[in-house]
Structure 1
Amino acid sequence: MNWPKVREELGLSDEVTFHVRGRSAKVKVTRNIHYGESERYCEDCIQYRLYRGHTTVVNAWGAIGFGYKSPLIFVDGTCKKGAFKQVDYLVQVLKHLRPILDAFALIIYTLGLVPLFMEDGNTAHGHKSATNCCAQYRSKHGMVLLTHPSTSPDMNPIEKCWRWIKQALHRRRYQPTTEAEMRQAVLEEWEAIPQEWINKLILKQEHWVTVLIQRHGWSTPN
């Protein structure tokens, strides 16, 4: 991928799951082995999660871009344990995506670029065939996806937005105890993420990709 060429024209989307009434746990996710103990308790290296036992699932979808942050969409999964399938993604996300993409495109066109949209490899997105409902809808409405390997490392900057929200929720004095309270709390924290901070994430992506290649985490064709 030529990241310096496409970084500012990407609409980066993803889903995230929150659990109500779970037991708190700290999970270290970005610790640098060369810094040893100095990053052991660094807030930037810790993501707060909830164990899944006896919890209510809250699924949310969002997208970010340079100069843009989408409205947050909550997805009600119809599969076991609240997971969502292709028809859920189509009805609750894709069919509401057109105004979101149009708003993002207005910003990107001013930069002289063509907007691209990025989704991960979740099976609910329908990337494995061109005949499923999601693929057909994207094709019909001209949604251009960024092509990337299915097994590539997850370098989507929106992951850091989800971590921002989870850390903010963990710091709250009163934790959400119902699905409605969790949705409201997540929405408040999503809206509190500064656009300037998101822009810096996207502009720094070139550096992250370069470092990843240097560490042989992603091989490039000869």
Structure 2
Amino acid sequence: MSWVDLRLMRSRTPVGDLAVSFGVPLLDAYLEFLAVRSRPNTVAAVAYDLKVFFTVVGKPPAEVAAGDVFAFITAQYTGGAAERLQTVAGDRVGVSARTVRRRLSSISGLFAFLHARGDVAGNPVPRGLPTRRERQRPRQGVPLVRTPRTLPRILQPGQVDALLAALRTWRDRAMVEAMVLGGLRRCEVLGLRLGDVQVAPRRLFIACAVGVMNPRR
């Protein structure tokens, strides 16, 4: 068989759930194992990730090495063979870092399963790139794929008004307004006590984290 032309087949179980298979015993055994502990959509997503990987690599599991995994990562960012691509930043062609990390997780799960069964010699997906401190901390290393950190999205004024209008009690409204207008964190609002509220001067005393010089503000 040709691993480049790996075919993903979809069907329905007797109860109507989505079922996927490749017609390849090694891969189907893992999907069956995964189906016992995961939702059908999760299994389908993992199956598609595996299809993308073997389509790009073009090798059976027993022949896949770490170099093939690195080549796969590069292909995901630059546009690999037979891959459905999407633009992620500007004119760059490829999939997002989160998608690459998810696919590596799916691939690593497959090889961990096959290694436990004795079908392959080891897992070709490295834990991370080695560093100078690898001897002291062998499990630590630079992640294979760095996921960009994004700031939380700020609610627009109209969204805040709609949120406040949907609240049913004055307590809920006070909690939300304390976060929106006072910049309080969720844990700070949940930690408020009646003695922390001063109605006349319209003040709140907030208990700060342990170790802060001023425990109240």
Calculate the TM-score normalised by the size of structure 1.
0.22
Return the index of the structure with the highest Cα Rg: 2
**RCO higher in structure (CA 8 A, sep ≥6):** 1
What is the TM-score of this pair, normalised by structure 2? 0.22
- Whichever structure has more strand as a proportion of its residues is 1
